Chain A
């Protein structure tokens, strides 16, 4: 029975999402999570973290705190991502990209969240006690079916 956790604090720097998701990648591969699933979950975390690091805080924010808590069991990979930045629900507030537009008319805004939603099984948002809290869930069994 696998029951592993990894807790990370993320700083406000453009290199921090990469540092965090590379730690996640090591953690996932070390515990035998399939590569394909690890890649998708890593991309989802990267997009969400990049949004937070880039937009959640004013430049003079007093004490920005961003935490990522990962938990892996035999059948599930879960992540909880919290920040004390401005309230932002990516599921509701991010622009929805129009994928049918030409390159000239396309906008990239919202693409990260679009990829995130496509690549994780479940994504929830809540605002609790001044925190944005995102919860990502990936059943490990479901991934095999997704491969088709």
Chain B
């Protein structure tokens, strides 16, 4: 797993690739927490390169959703591959966070 983040004020886009499971969920949590701790309240997680996520990774997303909601912003996902989208649907995460086609659309949703 690798996370590349670009910042713009209180908004950030984190591009995540690889695999998130119980072996590295803690690292993923540290990455997202560090971004939010820099004052980011609106976080876009770009899943274009994500090829695997288990419930351990969903737990980390849930924590980040709560933190960004609390900060008055939120968390949005974009570029989600079909098989990952199915995980989000089955786990009910599509009701907790919005899913956009592109990072630009996700970012724009926060400025409305």
* Contacts from A to B (Cβ < 8 Å): 14-15, 17-18, 35-36, 39-40, 42-43, 46-47, 50, 53-54, 97, 99-100, 102-104, 106, 108, 111-112, 114-115, 118-119
Contacts and interface: CB of A to CB of B under 8 A. Distances in A.
Interface stretch (B33-41, B53-61, B103-111): B53-61
Interface residues of B, number: 22
A118 B96 contact: no
A100 B83 contact: no
A36 B91 contact: no
B90 A114 contact: yes
A39 B58 contact: no
Contact of A46 (B22, B62, B92): B22
Contacts of A18: 19, 21-23
B22 A50 contact: yes
Nearest to B56: A50
Nearest to A53: B22
Given A103-B65, A111-B55, A15 B92 contact: no
B112 interface: no
A47 B92 contact: no
A15 B56 CA distance: 13
Main secondary structure of the interface of B (DSSP, over half): helix
Contacts of A99: 91-92, 95
Given A39-B52, A39-B83, A106 B62 contact: yes
Given A104-B69, A119-B90, A112 B55 contact: yes
Given A47-B54, A115-B90, A17 B62 contact: no
A103 B75 CA distance: 11
Interface in B47-103: 52, 54-56, 58-59, 62, 65-66, 69, 83, 87, 90-92, 95-97
Given A18-B23, A115-B87, 9 more contacts: A18-B21, A46-B21, A46-B22, A50-B56, A99-B91, A103-B65, A104-B66, A115-B55, A115-B90
Contacts of A14: 22-23
Contact of A103 (B55, B69, B83, B87): B69
A15 B52 contact: no
A20 B66 CA distance: 32
Nearest to B69: A103
